A and B are shown apart, each in its own frame.
Chain A
Amino acid sequence: MLLHFEYFLLASLLCWVGSWITMVIKKPVPSITATLALSGSIVLMLFVALLWIELDRPPLRTLGETRLWYSVVLSLIGALLYIRWRFSAILFYCHFLSLVFLVINFFKPDTFSKTLMPALQSPWFVPHVIVYMIAYACLGASFVVACAGLIKRFSKWTAVRCIELADRLVYVGFGFLTLGLVFGALWAKEAWGHYWTWDPKETWAFISWGVYLVYIHKQLRGTINVRSSLWVLSISFVALLVCWFGINYLPAAQNSVHVYSQ
Chain B
Amino acid sequence: MEEKQSKVLWESPWGYAESFLITFGVFIACLALDASVGAAPRLSFPDNLIAGGLIIVTIIISFIIKSKNHALLWLSSIPAAIASITLFVVVSVLMATIPQTDGAINPFYSILESWMYNGAYVLVLLTLGNATLKRLWPLEFKNATYILNHLGLFIALFAGGIGAGDVQKVNMKLFEGSSVFHAHDKDNNEIVFPFAVELTKFSMEEFLPKIALVDSNNDIITKNGRMCMVDMDTVNPMQVGDVSFSVKDFYAHAQYWEKSYRPVYDYGSAPVAKIQIEGVDTTNWLSNGNFMCPPAFVQVADSIYLKMVKPAPKRFYSKVKIYTPEAELPAHETIEVNYPLEVGDWKLYQVSYDESKGKWSRTSGIELVKDPWLPWVYVGLFMMIAGSVLLIFRKKKNDNLELDK
Contact = CB atoms under 8 A, between A and B. Distances in A.
A252 interface: yes
A158 B369 CA distance: 55
Contact of A174 (B2, B367, B391): B391
Contacts of B394: 171, 175
The CB with the most chain B CB atoms within 10 A, among A113, A115, A121, A200, is that of A115
Interface stretch (B28-36, B276-284, B296-304, B377-385): B377-385
B347 interface: yes
Contacts of B405: 225
A121 B95 contact: no
Nearest to B315: A118
A69 B208 CA distance: 27
A176 B392 contact: yes
Interface string B76-108: 001101100110110011011101100000000
Nearest to A215: B82
Contact of A218 (B82, B89, B340, B392): B82
A198 B169 contact: no
Interface string A148-186: 000000000011100010010001101110110010011
A211 interface: yes
Contacts of A225: 1-2, 403-405
B342 to A, nearest CB: 11
A238 B274 CA distance: 51
Contacts of B188: none
A178 B384 contact: yes
The main secondary structure of chain A at its interface with chain B is: helix
Interface in A183-223: 185-186, 189-196, 198, 200, 203-204, 206-207, 210-211, 213-214, 217-223
A175 B403 contact: no
B27 interface: no
B388 interface: yes
B191 to A, nearest CB: 15
Interface string A218-258: 11111111101000000000000000000000001000000
B231 A114 contact: yes
B207 interface: yes
A217 B97 contact: no
Interface string B339-368: 110000001010000000000000000010
Contacts of A211: 89
Given A217-B78, A252-B99, A121 B338 contact: yes
A262 B347 contact: no
Interface stretch (B192-200, B221-229, B253-261, B325-333): B221-229
Interface residues of A, number: 60
A119 interface: yes
A107 interface: yes
Contact of A115 (B2, B312, B316, B401): B312
Contacts of B378: 186
A122 interface: yes
Contact of B92 (A107, A108, A158, A206): A206
B92 A213 contact: no
Contacts, number: 162
Contacts of A210: 85-86, 88-89, 92
Contacts of B82: 214, 217-218
B5 interface: no
A108 B79 CA distance: 44
A182 B389 CA distance: 12
Contact of B339 (A108, A113, A114, A190): A190
B85 A214 contact: yes
A119 B337 contact: yes
B337 A204 contact: no
Nearest to A189: B374
A28 interface: no
A172 B207 CA distance: 39
Contacts of A218: 1, 78, 82
A197 B89 CA distance: 16
Contacts of A198: 95, 100, 112
Contact of B78 (A118, A200, A206, A220): A220
Contact of B93 (A119, A193, A207, A221): A207
A219 B398 contact: yes
A169 to B, nearest CB: 11
A224 B316 contact: no
Contacts of A116: 314
Given A113-B210, A221-B78, A252-B97, A118 B400 contact: no
Contacts of B95: 198, 203
Nearest to B224: A109
Which of the listed residues A190, A193, A252 has the most CB atoms from chain B within 10 Å of its own CB? A193
Contacts of B207: 114-115
Given A121-B315, A223-B400, A225-B404, A109 B85 contact: no
Please give me the 4 A-B residue pairs with the lowest Cβ-Cβ distance, nearest first. A223-B404, A175-B392, A175-B391, A210-B89
Interface of A: 107-111, 113-119, 121-122, 158-160, 164, 167, 171-172, 174-176, 178-179, 182, 185-186, 189-196, 198, 200, 203-204, 206-207, 210-211, 213-214, 217-226, 228, 252, 262
17 contacts: A107-B225, A109-B224, A111-B226, A119-B337, A122-B338, A171-B391, A178-B385, A179-B385, A193-B367, A193-B369, A217-B82, A220-B398, A224-B402, A225-B403, A225-B405, A252-B96, A252-B99
